Structure 1
Amino acid sequence: MKKIAVFTSGGDSPGMNACIRSVVRTGIYHGLDVYSIMYGYDGMINGDIKKMQSHSVSNIVQRGGTILKSARSEEFLTKEGRKKAYDQLQKFGIEGLVAIGGDGTFTGAKVFFEEFGVPILGCPGTIDNDIYGTDYTIGFDTAVNTALEAIDKIRDTAAAHDRIFFIEVMGRDSGYIGIECGIGGGAEMVLVPETKTTIDDVVRSFKSLRKSKTSSIVIVAEGEEEGDASQIMNKVKQHFKEDEKEFKVTTLGHIQRGGNPTAMDRLLGSRCGMAAVEGLIKGESNCMAGVINDTVVYTPFADCITKDKPLKSDYLRLQEMLSI
């Protein structure tokens, strides 16, 4: 293998640039020609490909987002689109790919490998931490710390006015951001997709807590089955007199995706990038390079896509104990 390419796809996450940097420089270190593909699978189809040098990735390790941009490609979902992408890779002589992204990225990579046999290694880039085969995903730690900074500030005003705040964090299918923010931010309650919490449970908790606390923080993951933070707040308010409690909602939204990556995300991105390139050199393919128990592991895309990554039961118990 002499030529490889790297691209980012799906939602951006802090630490992707550290991963890109690692892929480029690891490849060059091992004597490979390394190419970048702009705008993910769309750029692959359109031939938006250029050769990278070591200096091409200078001064990016501290930056959020992705210098390679990201886009969702409807055309790549078709066999014709994937054939166009393959033809472009052949045109540049590219023999292997490093795909940085999440479930959708790896699903596309798996199909592409099965149809055209191009060796592909994945790096887990998503703030949700919902990818099986790695303890943490690139961007998760930064997202949690960004959310915690906001939660700390909201708690100040909640305490000053004796208010109950419902704070919505990202996590459409996963409660990892929610549970870590709940524990780290001292929340009185955390509502996540993985656990069943009814409105009656929330109301009972508030009525118990108000004997000792005048303000409260409730963390709501966006995928919570009872609804988003506003819907849950409105349901809870119906159980209280108008003058009894003042309720507020804050949706943190996409601020959780941006910002300078933490040291942990820079290191994780760098490790996964190196592992992906060296995996390609060793003949690994159709799998993701992750880190479990501080050791690099390769997990088949099929497992990354289909296997659940449950919340740590100790975290759920800890949140329950600390919220009293």
Structure 2
Amino acid sequence: MKKIGVLTSGGDSPGMNAAVRAVVRKAIYHEMEVVGVYQGYQGLMEGEFKLLEIGDVGDIIQRGGTMLHSARSLEFKEDEAQLQAIERMRAAGMEGLVVIGGDGSYRGALALSEKGFPTVGVPGTIDNDIRGTDYTIGFDTALNTVIEAIDKIRDTATSHDRTFVIEVMGRDAGDIALWAGLAGGAETILVPEEATNIDEMVKRLQRGKERGKKHSIIIVAEGVMSANELKNILLDKGIDTRVSVLGHIQRGGSPTARDRVLASMMGAHAVEVLMNNVGGRAVGIRNQAVVDYDLKEVFETEHHLDQAMFKLSKELSI
């Protein structure tokens, strides 16, 4: 291939810019041209393209968000819109496409590949819910943001002898809640993949109180329930709580070194896949090695929570 495109789609995640940078510079190193597609799949349909040079991706590796911007497009789910996008890309001379994003972005990438346009997916989402890869770009940064918040809230909880409910992102996957809860020493962690046992949680809080513990931290993923809903349930059980909803603060910020390196490796590998005229692939990392695999695998299996880690979180929060 002599000319490829790159876009970011869906929710932004720290490290997307590092991935874009890697795609552009890896391609140029191998004497290929790269077209930046702005505003995700919406921009793909409307032809919002710009030929990117080395300098265009300078000074972005440390920035959160995405220089290509992002937009959600329900219209792109339709065959007609996908064919229009392919026509736009071919008219611009593009022969392949790198899509950086999450589950919804991957569905678009698969649709393009199945219609004959070689597309490769790079996992950019803080939720860490892309099947086939151990980690996604942005997950580590989001974790550190949440842990920093937990540490600060715990200071207040300790000072006022209170129980705090902290709501984190994770509509379908509880990785942020589990990892941050374990790292932050939370007494209770609620995730979408596991049934919520309110009575067990209340007993744990009461046991802690009986042995002299005067404050507790509860982490709840948004996919389980809202922090305010949980607060009202606990209030009915006689436990007064305070609520903190971290919200979109988890998506922003300068990416950690781990996310920058991960994004650089994955972005470069995506270019290598397209250099071999192969599409319909997803890039991931398994056992510390960068790999690529069939995009269909992402949708053929379910995301699974690390059960050993979840069990450990309960054992350490007695």
* TM-score, normalised relative to structure 2: 0.98
Contact between 2:284 and 2:290, CA under 8 Å: does it hold in 1? Answer: yes
Residue of structure 2 equivalent to 1:143: 142
Give the 3-state SS of the residue equivalent to 2:67 in structure 1.
Answer: coil
**CA–CA distance in structure 1, aligned partners of residues 303 and 108 of structure 2:** 20
Give the 3-state SS of the residue equivalent to 1:275 in structure 2.
Answer: helix
**CA–CA distance in structure 2, aligned partners of residues 140 and 267 of structure 1:** 13
Residue of structure 1 equivalent to 2:261: 267
Residue of structure 1 equivalent to 2:236: 238
Contact between 1:164 and 1:218, CA under 8 Å: does it hold in 2? Answer: yes
Give the 3-state SS of the residue equivalent to 2:97 in structure 1.
Answer: strand
Give the 3-state SS of the residue equivalent to 2:6 in structure 1.
Answer: strand
Q: Could you tell which deviates more after superposition, 302-311 or 126-135?
A: 302-311
What stretches of structure 2 of length at least 5 have no aligned partner?
none
Residue of structure 2 equivalent to 1:171: 170
Residue of structure 2 equivalent to 1:107: 107
Contact between 2:282 and 2:293, CA under 8 Å: does it hold in 1? Answer: yes
Contact between 2:41 and 2:76, CA under 8 Å: does it hold in 1? Answer: yes
Q: CA deviation at 1:137?
A: 0.2
Q: Could you tell which deviates more after superposition, 281-290 or 136-145?
A: 281-290
Give the 3-state SS of the residue equivalent to 2:164 in structure 1.
Answer: strand
CA RMSD of aligned residues (A): 1.0
Q: CA deviation at 1:306?
A: 3.2
Contact between 1:102 and 1:125, CA under 8 Å: does it hold in 2? Answer: yes
Residue of structure 1 equivalent to 2:57: 57
Contact between 1:35 and 1:50, CA under 8 Å: does it hold in 2? Answer: yes
Residue of structure 2 equivalent to 1:43: 43
**CA–CA distance in structure 2, aligned partners of residues 263 and 82 of structure 1:** 36
Q: Deviations over 1:48-70 (max 9, x none)?
A: 00111111100000000000000
Q: CA deviation at 1:207?
A: 1.1
Q: Deviations over 1:260-292 (max 9, x none)?
A: 000000001000000000011123310111110
Contact between 1:133 and 1:297, CA under 8 Å: does it hold in 2? Answer: no
**CA–CA distance in structure 2, aligned partners of residues 215 and 144 of structure 1:** 22
Q: Could you tell which deviates more after superposition, 260-269 or 308-317?
A: 308-317
**CA–CA distance in structure 2, aligned partners of residues 259 and 317 of structure 1:** 31
Give the 3-state SS of the residue equivalent to 1:217 in structure 2.
Answer: strand
**CA–CA distance in structure 2, aligned partners of residues 195 and 73 of structure 1:** 31
Q: CA deviation at 1:74?
A: 2.3
Residue of structure 2 equivalent to 1:93: 93
**CA–CA distance in structure 2, aligned partners of residues 238 and 82 of structure 1:** 51
Which of these residues, 305, 315, 318, is aligned with residue 312 of structure 2? 318
Give the 3-state SS of the residue equivalent to 2:194 in structure 1.
Answer: coil
**CA–CA distance in structure 2, aligned partners of residues 85 and 133 of structure 1:** 27
Give the 3-state SS of the residue equivalent to 2:296 in structure 1.
Answer: helix
The ranges of structure 1 where at least 4 consecutive aligned residues each deviate by more than 6 angstroms after the TM superposition are none
**CA–CA distance in structure 2, aligned partners of residues 167 and 154 of structure 1:** 9
Residue of structure 2 equivalent to 1:66: 66
Give the 3-state SS of the residue equivalent to 1:274 in structure 2.
Answer: helix
* TM-score, normalised relative to structure 1: 0.96
Q: Does 1:157 align with 2:156?
A: yes
Residue of structure 1 equivalent to 2:251: 257
Contact between 2:142 and 2:251, CA under 8 Å: does it hold in 1? Answer: yes
Contact between 1:10 and 1:71, CA under 8 Å: does it hold in 2? Answer: yes
**CA–CA distance in structure 2, aligned partners of residues 96 and 27 of structure 1:** 12
Give the 3-state SS of the residue equivalent to 1:133 in structure 2.
Answer: coil
Q: CA deviation at 1:305?
A: 2.5
Residue of structure 1 equivalent to 2:22: 22
Q: CA deviation at 1:86?
A: 1.1
Contact between 2:171 and 2:221, CA under 8 Å: does it hold in 1? Answer: yes
**CA–CA distance in structure 2, aligned partners of residues 61 and 145 of structure 1:** 18
Contact between 1:19 and 1:269, CA under 8 Å: does it hold in 2? Answer: yes
Q: CA deviation at 1:198?
A: 1.8
Q: CA deviation at 1:246?
A: 3.5
Give the 3-state SS of the residue equivalent to 1:11 in structure 2.
Answer: coil
Q: Which amino acid aligns with 1:125?
A: G
**CA–CA distance in structure 2, aligned partners of residues 134 and 189 of structure 1:** 27
Q: Does 1:303 align with 2:287?
A: no
Give the 3-state SS of the residue equivalent to 1:118 in structure 2.
Answer: coil
Q: Which amino acid aligns with 2:23?
A: V
Q: Which amino acid aligns with 2:44?
A: M
Give the 3-state SS of the residue equivalent to 1:233 in structure 2.
Answer: helix
What stretches of structure 1 of length at least 5 have no aligned partner?
none
Q: Does 1:202 align with 2:201?
A: yes
Give the 3-state SS of the residue equivalent to 1:250 in structure 2.
Answer: strand
